[in-house]
Amino acid sequence: MEGHRPPHLVVMVLYDRVQTLDVSGPLDVFTVANDGGARYRLLTASPGGRPVRTLAGLRVAPDAALEDLTGRIGTLIVPGRPDWQAAVRDTRLVAQIARLAPHARRVASVCAGAFPLAATGLLDGHRVATHWKLSRALAETFPCLKVDRDSIYVRDGRVVTSAGVTAGIDLALALVEEDWGPEVARAAARHLIVFMARSGEQSQLSVRLNLDAREPLMRRVLDTVTADPGGDHSRAAMAARAGVSVRHLTRLFRTELGMTAAQFVEQTRVEAATELLQSGDDTLCVVARRVGFGSEETMRRAFRRELGVAPSAYRARFHTRHHRPERLSS
DNA sequence: CACAGCATCCGCCATC
DNA sequence: TAGATGGCGGATGCTG
């Protein structure tokens, strides 16, 4: 059923001193979402086609000049630079965004990208989001916008604006979900998270999942699982607690989360296990039991499915207690 | 590490 | 009528 759709053209606008992550985050998400296929075609373009230097000093050679782009665009993305005044004053940049936006099915901005986008006048009367530190400045500079200070992501018609540290990634994931459904978006998110494999803090996995549970009933079900991964979370048990049939619960998981009940429970348990493996000294068997796996072997299989590594390898890599300073050379 | 038994998932249809 | 929910059964895949 896939592959018959022509690729969705994503145009990333580049200009000097943009926030690198605003650019690379969405591009990485779309690339991962492609999964080797051709769902998205990515194109970077700058004023005059000149190479740009991001805020971090990364030099990027764009694919094209904004001025040369013609025809329809799927999604036009405008990243931001923290000193937004310069972007707003860049009349050439603003003019090109204004020219291209009507040809785009969707127009999106990341973080401070809302400023040059607003300078085109296209956002007037629309609800928009931006980084909370910048929301006042945005509202004062462009009084016709309805600045939403609380949301990290706002969709108003075909205009999408986003804020927050990982805004670009969240934004792109939301667009992927819109285009290809929750399953594809979820897979991409998981891929990126595994790729970034961060230790400590609360895992991004559950944060994302909980955020996405709109249905109150569903949220309660998910909370029960994450609060006590080791409990009985068979489908029958969850359905009974939620007061719905097993069939309906199954359906809710698919429509609300884009994954099955068992997948969710497994992910949650793997995630809980990674916490214990990182900071505790319990044996693998104890960890397995504690987070609800029937045996060490079951946990091993789940780790392989979810993370592609064995629990022992995970611990070897991320264990932090009794950590000796690493030698840089031998 | 193979495999029997079991849980899960989901299409299909009935019901409200 | 459309939409939400429940039950059934077979294919699939997981567990021990």
H/E run at residue A181: none
Q: Which residues touch strand C (CB under 7 A)?
A: A 244-248, 251, 262, 266, 293-295, 297-298, 301-302, 305
Q: Which residue has the tokens 């018959």?
A: A4
**Which nucleotide's C1' atom has the smallest distance to the CA of A247?**
C6
For the CA of A235 and the C1' of C8, the distance in angstroms is 17
Nucleotides of B under 7 A from a protein CB: 7-12
Range A20-43 burial, b when 16+ CB lie within 10 A, else e: bbbbbbbbbbbbbbbeeeebbebe
Contact A229, A244 (CB under 8 A): no
For the CA of A207 and the C1' of B14, the distance in angstroms is 38
For the CA of A244 and the C1' of C2, the distance in angstroms is 21
pTM of the model: 0.62
CA angle A197, A288, A313 (to 5 degrees): 40
Beta strands in chain A (DSSP E): 8-13, 40-46, 52-53, 59-60, 64-65, 73-78, 104-110, 127-128, 146-147, 153-156, 159-162
**pLDDT tens digit at each of 330 positions of chain A:** 444 678 899 999 999 999 999 999 999 999 989 887 789 999 999 999 999 999 999 999 999 999 999 999 999 999 999 999 999 999 999 999 999 999 999 999 998 999 999 999 999 988 888 777 788 889 889 988 888 776 667 788 889 888 755 667 878 888 887 888 777 777 787 677 644 433 233 344 444 554 455 678 888 899 899 889 999 999 999 999 999 999 999 999 998 888 899 999 999 999 899 888 888 888 999 999 999 999 999 999 998 888 778 888 888 777 765 544 444 443
